[in-house]
Chains A and B, each alone.
Chain A
Amino acid sequence: MYAFTYHRPATARQAASLLAKKEDAKLLAGGHTLLPTMKQRLASPGALVDLSSCADLKGIARKGRNLVIGAMTTHAEVAASPEVQEAIPALAHLASHIGDPHVRHRGTIGGSVANNDPAADYPAALLALGATVVTNKRKLAADEFFTGLYETALEEGEIIVKVSFPVASKAGYAKFRNPASRYALVGVFVAKRGSEIAVAVTGAGEGGVFRWPEAEAALKARFAAKSLDGLKHTAKGINGDIHADAEYRAHLIGVMAKQAVAQATGKA
């Protein structure tokens, strides 16, 4: 790790001002990607702006038909939240299966979403549920927010404040974990809101999280795991590595999609 200056603002506004003032400053949320990268000397920000004391970035609330989660809310808090469990149980389920207990007590939804790791879980939930990412400057729909591997629509100086999830009538998330890292090798989040159906896939895409229109169409006919029988995702555009080549990953998308639907329909 190289030397850096450390700042711990109390509000998102102070954080934004530090971010603007300090040269080569980076935001620190849970730190699970940034700190190891810094330790390996692969990243060397001049300043870290730690968001952990920004009370205005924390908390979970039901607001009408939306569930709103502050950016600095940890995975463990989401998993344990009665509001989340009641409104979107699949989201609580997803959060309860991120990493291990250490990770879940440090890692945050804002950090995960901002980093947009192609194997992260949350991006699939945001995309499938049609969530809105609220920053200190604007509101961004999930499908315009995630723009590529580790890339988002966030601009210089922009801070995620909260994520707003419309409550779905049915939702499910299933992932096949990388045996070594236990990140999502393939994760599929399925959501039904009225007649709208979304199937979002994480872990597998060359360009990060994406939707699977063929599965959505099949589920529109009937929202049941059986509707996906015989449906195969193409291996084109799918990641390959030593753990899973594109063909195997593509196959797992189908298997996980069925599991996610089974979960959403209470048949898992």
Chain B
Amino acid sequence: MSATGIGAPVRRKEDHRFITGQGRYTDDINRPGQAHAYFLRSPHAHATLKKIDTMAAAAMPGVLGIFTGDDLAADKVGGLICGWMIHNKDGSPMRAGPHPALAQGKVRYVGDHVAVVVAETLAQARDAAEAIVVDYGVLPAVVDTATAAKAKTQVHAEAPDNTVFNWHLGDRAATDAAFKAAKHVTKLDIVNNRLVPNPMEPRGAVGDYDQGEGAFTLYTTSQNPHVARLVLSAFIGIAPENKLRVIAPDVGGGFGSKIFIYAEETVCVWAAKKVGRPVKWTSDRTEAFLSDAHGRDHVTHAELAMDADGKMLAMRVHTTANLGAYLSTFSSSVPTYLYAPLLSGQYDIPAIYCEVDAVYTNTAPVDAYRGAGRPEATFVVERLVEVAARQLGKDPAKFRTQNFIKKFPHQTPVIMMYDTGNYGASLKKAMEIIDYKGFPKRRRDSARSGKLRGIGFSAYIEACGIAPSAAVGSLGAGVGLWESAEVRVNPIGTVEVLTGSHSHGQGHETTFAQLVSDRLGVPLENVSIVHGDTDKVQMGMGTYGSRSGAVGMSAIFKAIDKVIAKGKKVAAYVLEADEADIDFKDGNFTVKGTDRKLDFGSCALQAYVAHKFNGQDLEPGLKEGAFYDPTNFTFPAGVHICELEIDPDTGVTRIERWAAVDDFGNVINPMIVEGQVHGGIAQGVGQALLEGARYNADGQLVTASFMDYCMPRADDLPSFEVGMTVTPCPSNPLGIKGCGEAGAIASPPAVINAITDALGHEDIAMPATPQAVWRAAQKTLSRMAAE
């Protein structure tokens, strides 16, 4: 391993730019003549739009244009789309209502887009928006996930009972039969709390229209600019792809929320042509709370059947998933194909049946948020398994080990074919790190000072490397999920890699360069990574689902193979040898059995000057591209153990120790991987202890600012002890599984299992705030007093 190659903890190349304020984010983009957009948003969760009077507003200083849903309709601008078709149990397609970028006839959540004002300055736009008179016909709001289907009010006429779909997966008859034969059944009701993503950089957009070229440019905060262009072009109809350039410059975090194509960027790029000026919008934090797609929001009943020995026989799950007021871009896939196929966890469960009812409510749209479906599945599985172990009187580690899948490949009853793994190894290592044997003593020590100590396991699995295109196509995806790469070698041997992946915090500029440096033997600083611009990178699918390593880098790997193959041809001419006798190693082309060699840079120069070969026999230049379509999902898995202490007097939970042992397959940069694990755990702890988006009965978001929505802070977290085990992924050339979401997937059940262990009962929901824990601890104390 070299100091900068695969496996080296290289410091991130991009960080100097970011921490010295040299990053270039969408809000840093200012176009000549730029105007500003302000969106007038609905203050009501549910209302008809009886009249929108813009007369007075239009006459106000600086106003360039005021547009409503009628203007979009008149221009035949299509609505926002949901890119994944889910079918009901009876085979009929899901029932989706329209999703106009600016409301037409009705508003359906607080923050819904009523109109946009474009003005010379943001303040003028805002002043004018305040002068717009809207006559709302306020309707009752549907807010509650569990009861939305029974509500008298209908969010969309197209979806009776507010139900988008009733979907299922698995063998119902086999599952029911296994439950009948079971000796023990564990049942659990679970709420997976709604979260607001809150990336550090809020969303933003700058739309620009070049009248001479008849072409649009959109700068936007996107995790996948090519998908944005595809949707804006093919479905929304802004312009054909060759007349629409989408640029996602530096992006400050996404966590899924910047995958989707939103109303604001659609309107900005369209309005740029309407007013003949570039149009900019930057979300403020309140708008982000109200209108970024939220995450999670499931209500679940789950059951696990076991035989007399504690061997798992079957699992039965019913989930109601809240999709909000409109179907966001990939919303329908999250509680279905990203969720139920993970319900087997790390366990050999012969039969699984899962039903999912997806509902519309008068709340912000819900879509993928770090982990997307997999944290929800892991929470169900790992809570259920922990409670089952307790009910059976078994040690949670032994119970898990008894039921682990031990032979690979393993076909689960819910689609997935696990390729490789060693779950026992991660569990063993995590138990060593946390000193599981010493826990009873630590618990006694805590008890002596009046504290309740608990320990909680989470043995998670996720499906990453999203995804084989044909497979997802057969499940309803509207796109393929391959990735592209182009490796451009310059005449002096520096390298530019164009990738369809998009970095918004993951450190691609470093890890991708490490791969290139390692394989081509060129210094790290001679490699540049280009991404996020549809004019530079031809096509790509973007970054989410921990796919950039497993899929994005595999495409680069493939393109590098082609570059080396071409280089060998060039070297054969230069070194006057047979191509079959050329080897490439450590940056040098050599002739087998001789000391003749050509370094990579010289080879590149020879490829471009083309003096040593005939252009008819070999094309000049050194530039290769590749598309990589994965053959399977990848299956990162591991075990996290959380140990914590509760102060029953205040309800404060303090996480004392955290062991995380993950199997991500091969690792390119262990420091960056560890950072991803840390951040993921922080978000998972946030979900478990602190974060919860709450709407009141009128559909007002009560937690619409950081004053009430509690983000995790450094002092809420312990020092993580991170370990790794490695079973290389067999389905991609680098053996990579992916690491971006694991922490957020693993951690919530580890925390709640530890809290319920400390409490001695299961009566606590996420977020386990001090108030909730205090109340639950009073129950524990009164039980202890009674004993």
Q: Contacts A1-B123, A242-B703, A248-B775; is A179 near B770 (CB within 8 Å)? A: yes
| A252–B769 touching, CB < 8 Å | no
| A252–B708 touching, CB < 8 Å | no
Mark interface residues in A226-256 (1 if CB within 8 Å of B CB, else 0): 0000000000000000111100100110010
Mark interface residues in A161-186 (1 if CB within 8 Å of B CB, else 0): 00000000000000010011100000
A-B contacts besides A179-B710, A180-B703, A242-B694, 6 pairs, CB < 8 Å: A176-B770, A179-B690, A179-B770, A180-B709, A242-B702, A248-B774
B706 at the interface (CB under 8 A from A): yes
Question: Closest residue to A3 on the B side, CB-wise?
Answer: B123
Q: Quote the shortest CB–CB distance from A253 to chain B (angstroms).
A: 12
Compute how far the CA of A181 lies from the CA of B708 in the bound complex, rounded to whole angstroms. Answer: 6
| B707–A180 touching, CB < 8 Å | yes
| B123–A252 touching, CB < 8 Å | no
Across-interface contacts of A176 in B (CB, < 8 A): 650, 770
Across-interface contacts of B694 in A (CB, < 8 A): 242
Compute how far the CA of A244 lies from the CA of B774 in the bound complex, rounded to whole angstroms. Answer: 10
Compute how far the CA of A1 lies from the CA of B121 in the bound complex, rounded to whole angstroms. Answer: 13
A40, A248, A255 — which one has the most chain B CB atoms within 10 A of its CB?
Answer: A248
Question: Can you report 8 A-B residue pairs in the complex whose CB atoms are below 8 A from each other?
Answer: A40-B286, A41-B126, A179-B710, A180-B706, A248-B774, A251-B774, A252-B650, A255-B649
Question: Closest residue to B774 on the A side, CB-wise?
Answer: A248
| B771–A245 touching, CB < 8 Å | yes
Question: Closest residue to B706 on the A side, CB-wise?
Answer: A180
Interface of A with B (CB < 8 Å)? 1, 40-41, 176, 179-181, 242-245, 248, 251-252, 255
Mark interface residues in B13-26 (1 if CB within 8 Å of A CB, else 0): 00000000000000
| A243–B123 touching, CB < 8 Å | no
Across-interface contacts of B770 in A (CB, < 8 A): 176, 179, 244
| A248–B771 touching, CB < 8 Å | yes
Q: Contacts A1-B123, A255-B650; is A180 near B710 (CB within 8 Å)? A: yes
Across-interface contacts of B286 in A (CB, < 8 A): 40
Across-interface contacts of B708 in A (CB, < 8 A): 180-181, 242-243
Compute how far the CA of A181 lies from the CA of B713 in the bound complex, rounded to whole angstroms. Answer: 11
Question: Closest residue to A176 on the B side, CB-wise?
Answer: B650
Compute how far the CA of A245 lies from the CA of B703 in the bound complex, rounded to whole angstroms. Answer: 16
Compute how far the CA of A255 lies from the CA of B707 in the bound complex, rounded to whole angstroms. Answer: 24
Q: Quote the shortest CB–CB distance from A38 to chain B (angstroms).
A: 12
Q: Quote the shortest CB–CB distance from B142 to chain A (angstroms).
A: 21
Question: Closest residue to A181 on the B side, CB-wise?
Answer: B707
Q: Among residues 194 to 211 in chain B, which have CB atoms less than 8 Å away from a CB atom of chain A?
A: none
Contacts across chains A and B counted by CB atoms under 8 Å: 39
B690, B702, B709, B771 — which one has the most chain A CB atoms within 10 A of its CB?
Answer: B771
Interface of B with A (CB < 8 Å)? 123, 126, 130, 286, 649-651, 690, 694, 702-703, 706-711, 769-771, 774-775
Q: Nearest 9 pairs between A and B by C-beta?
A: A180-B710, A181-B707, A179-B710, A248-B771, A244-B771, A255-B649, A180-B708, A255-B650, A248-B774
| B649–A181 touching, CB < 8 Å | no
Question: Closest residue to B767 on the A side, CB-wise?
Answer: A179
Across-interface contacts of B769 in A (CB, < 8 A): 179, 243
Compute how far the CA of A251 lies from the CA of B775 in the bound complex, rounded to whole angstroms. Answer: 11
Compute how far the CA of A243 lies from the CA of B651 in the bound complex, rounded to whole angstroms. Answer: 12
Compute how far the CA of A66 lies from the CA of B769 in the bound complex, rounded to whole angstroms. Answer: 41
Q: A181's contact among B123, B650, B706, B774, by CB below 8 Å, is which?
A: B706
Across-interface contacts of A251 in B (CB, < 8 A): 774
Q: Quote the shortest CB–CB distance from A176 to chain B (angstroms).
A: 6
Across-interface contacts of A181 in B (CB, < 8 A): 706-708
Compute how far the CA of A248 lies from the CA of B774 in the bound complex, rounded to whole angstroms. Answer: 8
Compute how far the CA of A170 lies from the CA of B477 in the bound complex, rounded to whole angstroms. Answer: 69
Compute how far the CA of A267 lies from the CA of B694 in the bound complex, rounded to whole angstroms. Answer: 40
Compute how far the CA of A179 lies from the CA of B768 in the bound complex, rounded to whole angstroms. Answer: 12
Q: Quote the shortest CB–CB distance from B703 to chain A (angstroms).
A: 7
Across-interface contacts of A248 in B (CB, < 8 A): 651, 771, 774-775
Compute how far the CA of A1 lies from the CA of B126 in the bound complex, rounded to whole angstroms. Answer: 10
Across-interface contacts of B775 in A (CB, < 8 A): 248
Question: Closest residue to B710 on the A side, CB-wise?
Answer: A180
Question: Closest residue to A182 on the B side, CB-wise?
Answer: B713
Across-interface contacts of A252 in B (CB, < 8 A): 650
Q: Contacts A1-B123, A180-B706, A181-B706; is A243 near B771 (CB within 8 Å)? A: yes
B126, B690, B711, B769 — which one has the most chain A CB atoms within 10 A of its CB?
Answer: B769
Across-interface contacts of B709 in A (CB, < 8 A): 180
Q: Quote the shortest CB–CB distance from B152 to chain A (angstroms).
A: 27
Compute how far the CA of A108 lies from the CA of B430 in the bound complex, rounded to whole angstroms. Answer: 49
Compute how far the CA of A40 lies from the CA of B707 in the bound complex, rounded to whole angstroms. Answer: 14
Q: Quote the shortest CB–CB distance from A194 to chain B (angstroms).
A: 31
Compute how far the CA of A252 lies from the CA of B652 in the bound complex, rounded to whole angstroms. Answer: 11
Question: Closest residue to A258 on the B side, CB-wise?
Answer: B649
Q: Quote the shortest CB–CB distance from B21 to chain A (angstroms).
A: 17
Q: Quote the shortest CB–CB distance from B540 to chain A (angstroms).
A: 38
Compute how far the CA of A245 lies from the CA of B775 in the bound complex, rounded to whole angstroms. Answer: 11
Question: Closest residue to A245 on the B side, CB-wise?
Answer: B771
Question: Closest residue to B652 on the A side, CB-wise?
Answer: A176
Compute how far the CA of A245 lies from the CA of B126 in the bound complex, rounded to whole angstroms. Answer: 37
Question: Closest residue to A40 on the B side, CB-wise?
Answer: B286
Q: Quote the shortest CB–CB distance from A155 to chain B (angstroms).
A: 30
Across-interface contacts of B650 in A (CB, < 8 A): 176, 252, 255
Question: Closest residue to A1 on the B side, CB-wise?
Answer: B123
Across-interface contacts of A40 in B (CB, < 8 A): 286
Q: Quote the shortest CB–CB distance from A80 to chain B (angstroms).
A: 21
Compute how far the CA of A245 lies from the CA of B774 in the bound complex, rounded to whole angstroms. Answer: 12
Across-interface contacts of A244 in B (CB, < 8 A): 770-771
Across-interface contacts of B703 in A (CB, < 8 A): 180, 242
Q: Quote the shortest CB–CB distance from A208 to chain B (angstroms).
A: 18
Compute how far the CA of A255 lies from the CA of B450 in the bound complex, rounded to whole angstroms. Answer: 14
Q: Quote the shortest CB–CB distance from B592 to chain A (angstroms).
A: 65
Compute how far the CA of A81 lies from the CA of B650 in the bound complex, rounded to whole angstroms. Answer: 32
Across-interface contacts of A255 in B (CB, < 8 A): 649-650
Compute how far the CA of A243 lies from the CA of B691 in the bound complex, rounded to whole angstroms. Answer: 11
Across-interface contacts of B126 in A (CB, < 8 A): 41
Compute how far the CA of A255 lies from the CA of B126 in the bound complex, rounded to whole angstroms. Answer: 47
Question: Closest residue to A39 on the B side, CB-wise?
Answer: B284
Compute how far the CA of A243 lies from the CA of B772 in the bound complex, rounded to whole angstroms. Answer: 9
Compute how far the CA of A45 lies from the CA of B774 in the bound complex, rounded to whole angstroms. Answer: 43
Compute how far the CA of A41 lies from the CA of B130 in the bound complex, rounded to whole angstroms. Answer: 11
B123, B694, B769, B770 — which one has the most chain A CB atoms within 10 A of its CB?
Answer: B770
Q: Quote the shortest CB–CB distance from B388 to chain A (angstroms).
A: 31
